[in-house]
Amino acid sequence: MITACAFVMMPNHIHLVWQQNKLNGKETPKGSLLKYRGHEFLKFLKADGKSNWCEVNAANKKQEIGKRDSLGIEIYTAKVARQKLGYLHHNPVNGKWQLAKDYLSYHYSSARFYETGMDEFGFLKNIFAVLYGD
């Protein structure tokens, strides 16, 4: 089980700020999350008849979802948290993307949660409450 603190879903990747709440056997927190995410996305693809989108020619697996070397950065201070939140929330309107007129109007993001305090998705917890307690 994890606590989701922030996210932005982009056309070809996702940024997620999260905390692991309990250990999942011998798996690392990141490995456990990536494995779970892969299985859940595969369920959706199979339901839509599109599981062939992630097929690979490998000896040890039939499908692959996501990059094997995804970046994980530990957030241990409010300064680092502010920097990471700013980066991920502005991602949809920076550089090549231009997915919305401004970062707050991009729907697939937790930016409005941090601006208004209202969790329209129903699963977010403020990273500063996680870092410093409620």
Is 128 in contact with 45 (CB distance < 8 Å)? no
In the chain, the N- to C-terminal Cα span, in Å, equals 19
pTM of the model: 0.77
Which among 14, 16, 13, 15 has a CA at the least distance from the CA of 3?
A: 16
For the chain, 134 residues long, give each residue's pLDDT as a single digit of tens.
688 999 999 988 889 998 887 777 777 777 777 777 787 878 878 888 877 778 888 888 888 777 667 788 889 899 999 999 999 999 999 988 999 999 999 999 999 999 999 999 999 999 999 998 86
Burial class (CB in 10 A: 0-12, 13-18, 19+), 85: buried
